[in-house]
Amino acid sequence: MNRSWMNLVPRPQGSSSLPLRYLNSADALLLLCLAAAAIALGAAVRHMLGPLVAPASMPIHLDMWHLPGYALRTTIRMFAALACSLVFTFVYATLAAKSRRAGQILVPLLDVLQSVPILGFLSFTITFFLGLFPGRILGAECAAIFTIFTSQAWNMALGMYQGLRSVPPELEETARCFGLTSWQKFWRLEVPCTIPSLVWNAMMSMAGGWFMVVYSESITVGSTDITLPGIGSYVGMAIDQQNIGAVAAAIVAMMVVILVYDQVLFRPLAAWATRFRLESVNATQVVEPWFLRLVRRTRLLRMCGNALLSVGRRISYLPLGSRPDTMRVDADESTGGPDWLWWGFLLLVCLGASWQVWDYAHTHYTLGQIAYVFGLGGITLVRVVSMLVLASLIWVPVGIWCGLDPTRARRAQILAQYGAAFPANLFFPVFVVVIVHFRLTPDIWLTPLMILGAQWYILFNVIAGASSFPSNLLEVGRNLEVRGWFWWRRIILPGIAPYYLVGVMAAAGGAWNAAIASEVAQWGETTLTAHGLGAYVAQSTQLGNISNVGLGTVVMCVFVMFTNALVWRPLSDFVARRLKLN
């Protein structure tokens, strides 16, 4: 009866019924936000494509009403670098995992790239990008984005490579039984297995990128001085002018930006990534973010999203690539005689590169200079080790205490992520003021600066390890009344060792990179310098001495690579062999 009455009611012609059927209040709100974001993005990109002018003609204003525009530009650079890192990750990690011969080159090369100090790239890339886009600000923008990219890409690529190499054999066998091609297997099995690690590494990479913002937006290499509008350059100007209020305003603006993209992007992604975990996840422990609930209430946007997912599924089902039998034959054939030619080719390449390095070093450096730089590297190594020990003594007990309680663990993980994302170099002026006021020794009191940002990796991973510790083992310890130091030594510390090792390795890499910034701290006209390899590279970069920058960068790579080979890899093998909870 009601239905027939509704049919008698005249309806407007055309598409006026479309909003009633496909739009609701959530659609209207999100579409309005998307339109505003698109307009702001277009305005910011238009400025980035303009001509390159002298730094004096585009000054950085410390008025607070300029901060929203600066924050938008910095955010665009951050996400542009993240997009490039994502593309690089899929190409590099897949090639290294799928091709045995490519992996023999790409995996050690990734180890080298991780050990290269990020600020060392500036001296070599700024000239390249400015020459690539002469007279355009796009060259400086590309140099800034590339600097942030180098703080994100290696970690993401290594995480995806490890994920691709650790797909469970039973799932591999299932894909083979279903006759999936290499293309179908990659998108339907391997990529889903890497999604949790990829989302986590993207979050941590964004955190690492914020540390580089100040240095990527205020570029000084010899006579080249370029300032790009953004939060980083705003902070640099505030430090030069000793403006505490501007530094505080930049901190607030940065925290707002981090809060927004964390709630809008990374929280929904983290909740979505739990669907792809191989271990069982209690649905009651997964808190659905508010933004994800808002998106699910939409009609038009959800319909568009489902259409895009449908297109993606169809692409993943395309029968491209070889079948399992063909892949096995190819793998067997690749282990034959041509390996001798391959290793011979690699040997020739290594010999040629070694000759070029020797020829350059012989003409530009003396043995005394090289020995001096290695001595500075030893001083920085002592600083890194001492700060790792101090951070471990503080955060391992705190992380275990938080991780053994689910509520505390969830809150502490959020705080740790925000702490890792917050650029620790904003605290440098405070250290300079305190050191000058109390006449402290810079060689000692500048040392904590290198661990301010990296310490959170230890805390976060220890919390993760304590949270995933088997409850039945804890119950056994309580029943046997195991307490005190014996409980720490025999139960909890061995159980969290794999997680702690991942965190301390990430913290060590962050500390080495932070050494370049932390061994030279500035506040206005006051500059404090500590003896070390980081200060050597930083001062050489400011003077535009490319040969000294190259020497310092190579020496730092040597220290990091030898530390990886002599310390971290043996420890990783020991932990995987003796302390892993299977």
Q: How many C-beta atoms surround the C-beta of residue 526 within 10 A?
A: 13
Same domain, 252 and 381: no
Q: How many residues does the chain have?
A: 582
Same domain, 254 and 385: no
Taking CA atoms, 536 is separated from 119, 361, 411, 489, 563, in Å, by 12, 18, 40, 41, 20
Give domain status of residue 316, yes or no: no
Q: What is the mean pLDDT of the chain?
A: 80
Same domain, 410 and 264: no
Give mean pLDDT, residues 363-369: 87
Contacts of 344 (CB under 8 A, 6+ apart): none
Give mean pLDDT, residues 349-365: 83
Q: Residue 456: name the closest of 491, 416, 510 by CA.
A: 416
55 has pLDDT over 60: no
Same domain, 272 and 381: no
**pLDDT tens, position by position, 513-528:** 788 878 888 776 778 8
Q: Residue 529: name the closest of 369, 365, 379 by CA.
A: 379
Give the pLDDT confidence score for residue 34 in this predicted structure: 82
The values of phi and psi at residue 225, to 5°, are: -135, 110
Give the pLDDT confidence score for residue 582 in this predicted structure: 54
Give domain status of residue 224, yes or no: yes
Q: Residue 387: name the closest of 431, 457, 451 by CA.
A: 451
Give domain status of residue 323, yes or no: no
Instruction: Say which residue, 111 or 92, is predicted with more confidence.
Output: 92
Report the CATH number at residue 560: 1.10.3720.10
**pLDDT tens, position by position, 156-212:** 888 888 788 878 888 888 888 888 888 888 888 888 888 888 887 788 788 777 777
Give domain status of residue 63, yes or no: yes
Same domain, 283 and 379: no
Give domain status of residue 332, yes or no: no
Give mean pLDDT, residues 70-75: 89
Which residues are registered as beta bridge partners of 221? 224
Q: What is the distance between the alpha carbons of residues 201 and 494, in angstroms, rounded to a whole number?
A: 25
Give mean pLDDT, residues 249-253: 87
Same domain, 382 and 244: no
Among residues 287, 319, 352, which one ends one of the domains?
A: 287
Same domain, 276 and 368: no
Same domain, 280 and 371: no
Q: Would you give the end-to-end CA distance of the chain in angstroms?
A: 65
Give domain status of residue 538, yes or no: yes
Q: What is the distance between the alpha carbons of residues 271 and 286, in angstroms, rounded to a whole number?
A: 7
Give domain status of residue 319, yes or no: no
- Structurally, the chain folds into a number of domains equal to 2
Confidence of residue 81 (pLDDT cuts 50, 70, 90): very high
13 has pLDDT over 50: no
Cβ(498)–Cβ(433) under 8 Å?
no
Q: What range defines the domain where residue 149 resides?
A: 24-287
Q: What is the distance between the alpha carbons of residues 280 and 373, in angstroms, rounded to a whole number?
A: 51
**pLDDT tens, position by position, 468-523:** 788 788 888 888 877 888 888 888 888 888 889 878 887 888 888 788 878 888 77
Instruction: Say which residue, 65 or 119, is predicted with more confidence.
Output: 65
Confidence of residue 357 (pLDDT cuts 50, 70, 90): confident
Same domain, 86 and 202: yes
Give mean pLDDT, residues 427-449: 84
Q: What is the distance between the alpha carbons of residues 41 and 77, in angstroms, rounded to a whole number?
A: 11
Q: How many C-beta atoms surround the C-beta of residue 259 within 10 A?
A: 12
Cβ(516)–Cβ(538) under 8 Å?
yes
Among residues 238, 263, 287, which one ends one of the domains?
A: 287
Question: Hey, what are 116's tokens?
Answer: 């290269």
Contacts of 178 (CB under 8 A, 6+ apart): none
Full-model pTM: 0.79
Same domain, 369 and 280: no
Give domain status of residue 2, yes or no: no
Same domain, 398 and 278: no
Among residues 255, 287, 319, which one ends one of the domains?
A: 287
Give the pLDDT confidence score for residue 92 in this predicted structure: 92
Q: What is the distance between the alpha carbons of residues 83 and 105, in angstroms, rounded to a whole number?
A: 24
Q: Residue 550: how many CA atoms within 13 Å on its side-chain side?
A: 10
